[in-house]
Structure 1
Amino acid sequence: MKPRIAVLGCGYWGSNHIRTLKALGALHAVSDANAARAEGFASEQECLALDPDELYAREDIDAIVMALPPQFHAAAAIRAVEAGKDVLVEKPIALTVPDAEKAVAAARANKRVFMVGHVLRFHPAFEMLKQLIDAGELGTVKYIHSHRLGLGKFHTENDALWDLAPHDLSMILAITGAAPTEIRGEGAALLDHLSDFAHLHMRFPGGLRSHLFASRLNPYRERRLTVVGTKAMAVFDDVEPWDRKLAVYRHAVWQDSGHWAFTTNEPSYVPVNAGMPLTRELEHFIECIGTRAEPRTSGEEAIGVLRILTAGTVTHD
């Protein structure tokens, strides 16, 4: 049987969870501090509308998806796992590493599933990119850079780094399999005291380097992850149509008589089966609830992402 899942937080991203869980046959209830908003979704999706304080004690709820402002995630997650609920917590799972560690430790102590909403880990193009890397198609990975640019959204608590970078950091950590040994951040606040632009420079064990650029004040959208290996380079570009989302470039670079030479080749586009990352993420959550397996995007991974965000944050007056 499908688990009975409630969504806590009926805002923009919570509403996507609500509709997707309904389509998967696992939506049981919705909850929000704004009761009228919850009632509206409950009527639309034919499920229960519950007060947040009522949610945790309900025996007919197996798991909770949390899509709250991030400053409330840790406390809500701890309350849920101590009430025996499995949780999927949207990113970031907390605003400090200690708070995140407390939430993850509480889930472990209560033997509850703790999954994090790093949704791009479930993107079919990224999954295929990871397969190519693991199979050695790119050779040894030397450099990874990601660009996540656009106009908005603007938050009162999150700057561009904390709002936009977690997805890319999750993908980078999945590729490197290790935490960075060096982190350097640069930011620029143009609208208020929160950075609207952010750069992260990272060095990983073995000499692998990575650079991340995030902006919420950019005139065009860019959603691109580039991996440079010793055999080939690959680009996951989520703005492109499905048949062009994953490209592999087999350029060649070599030394000839003491000088560097190179040849360029047209990209080959790797076939990727279309699929909604959020649907695949929630299917994985449902599977983990049933099997009690550790989620692909675990609490430990989220703590690693938070450590990088914390180290790379630039404060502004």
Structure 2
Amino acid sequence: MAPRIAVLGCGYWGGNHIRTLNALGALQAVSDANPDNAGRFASQFGVPAVPVEELFTRPDIDGIVLALPAQFHAHYATLAVQNGKDVLVEKPIALEVADAESEVEAARANGRVFMVGHVLRFHPAFEKLLELVQAGALGKIGYVHSHRVGLGKFHTENDALWDLAPHDLSMILAVTGEEPSVIRGEGAALLDHLSDFAHLHLEFPGGIKGHLFASRLNPYRERRFSVVGSKGMAVFDDMEPWGRKLALYRHEVWREGNHWDFKSAEPEYIAVEEAMPLTRELQHFLHCIETREQPRTNGREAISVLRILTAGTVRHPRQD
């Protein structure tokens, strides 16, 4: 029997978790501070709507997915693991590094699985890109850059960096294998005091440099993640159809005398499995509950992401 999972938070992304867990045969209950929200999903999927204050002591629940505003994650994740529940916490897991460290430590002390919802780590195209990197197909990695821009969504608590960048930072950390030693953030706020545009410039101890651009006020959508190595370059473009989501460029660059020369190559499109990242993420969560393995996206990584977000945040004066 699959582990029995409850979802706390029946908003947009919580609804996706609910539908996916139901398809996997693992949905046990739903809960929300607004009983009407939970009631709608409970009726649709034939599971109980459990009041929040009762959720954590239910003996028929093995794990809880937390899809809440970030300021509530640390409190409820700690409550869950202290009551013997494994957790998948959506990003970001907290708004303060100290709170993130506290909830992760609580999970460790209570022997519970603590997984973070960095869903793009489970995208088949990124998984294949990471395989190319680790197999040395791109040679020595020198630069990683990510662009995630579009129009909306607008939040009153999180700026573009905190809302859009965690997934990309998770992928950057997976490629580099280490935290950056230098973090420089730039931001621009057009609507209020929160950055609508955010740049991060990163330098890593091993010599890799990186750049991230996130915007929620952009005229076009872009979801592109690129890795540049000495033997080739790879691009994961999530706006492309499945057959073109991962491209490998075997460009050549060399020095001749006092100048550099190069030869460009046509992209080689790498075949990847067509699968929903959220399904694969939740399958991994269920697997970790059953085997007690450390999740691919664990608390340590989430704290690293939070440190980068904190260091790269630009504060703007409030606009009247």
Task: Identify the residue that residue 47 of structure 1 maps to in structure 2.
Answer: 47
Paired residue for 2:10?
10
Equivalent in the alignment of 2:100: 100
Equivalent residue number for residue 67 of structure 1: 67
Q: How far apart are residue 116 of structure 1 and its match?
A: 0.1
AA aligned to 2:223 is: R
| SS of equivalent residue, structure 2 residue 49 | strand
Structure 1 residue 257: Cα displacement: 2.2
Question: Aligned equivalents of 2:106 and 2:217: distance in 1?
Answer: 38
Q: Tell me which moved more, 11-20 or 259-268.
A: 259-268
Displacement of 1:206? 2.2
Counterparts of 1:130 and 1:281 in 2: how far apart (Å)?
A: 16
Alignment pair present for 1:234 and 2:234: yes
Could you say what secondary structure the match of 1:157 adopts?
Answer: coil
SS of the equivalent of 1:40 reads helix
The whole-number CA distance in structure 2 between the counterparts of 1:219 and 1:38 is 35
- Confirm or deny that 1:285 pairs with 2:280: no
Q: Secondary structure at the match of 1:30?
A: strand
- 1:24-58 per-position Cα deviation (integer Å, ceiling 9, x unaligned): 00000000011011000000011110111110111
Q: Distance in 2 between matches of 1:255 and 1:61?
A: 62
Letter in 1 for 2:206: G
Cα offsets for 1:261-303 (capped at 9, x unmatched): 1111110000101000000000000000000000000000000
Three-state SS of the structure 2 residue aligned to 1:145 is strand
CA distance in 1, matches of 2:307, 2:208: 19
The aligned counterpart of 1:212 is: 212
Q: Which residue of 1 aligns with 2:154?
A: 154
- What is the aligned partner in structure 1 of residue 248 from structure 2? 248
Q: Does residue 129 in structure 1 map to residue 119 in structure 2?
A: no
Deviation at 1:259, TM superposition (A): 1.0
Query: Greater CA deviation, 257-266 or 210-219?
Result: 257-266
Q: C-alpha distance in 2, partners of 1:121/1:211?
A: 18
Q: How many Å separate the matches in 2 of 1:254 and 1:36? A: 64
Give how far 1:247 is off: 0.2
Deviation at 1:148, TM superposition (A): 0.2
Q: For structure 2, list consecutive stretches of 5 or more residues without a partner in the other structure.
A: none
Secondary structure at 2:201's aligned position in 1? Answer: strand
Unaligned runs of 5+ in 1: none
Q: What secondary structure, in the 3-state scheme, does the structure 1 residue paired with 2:206 have?
A: helix
Amino acid at match of 2:260: W
The residue that corresponds to 1:144 in the other structure is 144
Q: Do residues 169 (structure 1) and 141 (structure 2) align?
A: no
Q: CA deviation at 1:244?
A: 0.2
> What is aligned with 1:301?
301
**What code does the residue aligned with 2:187 have?**
G
- Which SS does the other structure have where 1:272 is aligned? coil
**Distance in structure 1 (CA, Å) of the matches to 2:13 and 2:6:** 14
TM-superposed deviation, 1:205 = 1.3
Structure 2 CA distance for aligned equivalents of residues 177 and 85 of structure 1: 29
TM-score (norm: length of structure 2): 0.99
Aligned residues: 317
Deviations 1:114-158 (A, max 9, x none): 000000000000000000000000000000000000101011110
After TM superposition, give the deviation of residue 210 of structure 1 in Å.
0.0
Partner residue, 1:76: 76
Rounded Cα–Cα distance in structure 1 between residues aligned with 2:63 and 2:255: 58
Within 1, Cα distance between the matches of 2:19 and 2:186?
A: 37
Residue 91 (str. 1) matches residue 91 (str. 2): yes
Letter in 2 for 1:115: M
Q: Which runs of 4+ in 1 moved over 6 A?
A: none
Give SS of 1:48's match.
Answer: coil
Cα distance in 2 for residues equivalent to 1:86 and 1:253: 49
Residue identity in the other structure for 1:123:
H
Distance in 2, matches of 1:116 and 1:172, equals 16
Residue 73 of structure 2 aligns with an amino acid whose one-letter code is H
- Identity across matched positions, percent: 72
Aligned-CA RMSD value: 0.5
**SS in structure 2 at match of 1:99:** helix
Pairwise CA distance, 1:99: 0.1
Question: Deviation digits for residues 166-188 of structure 1, max 9, x if unmatched?
Answer: 00000000010001000000001
1:196 aligns with 2:196: yes
State the secondary structure of the residue aligned to 2:144.
Answer: strand
Query: What is the distance in 1 between the residues matched to 2:261 and 2:64?
Result: 56
Aligned twin of 1:34: 34
1:62 maps to a residue whose letter is: D
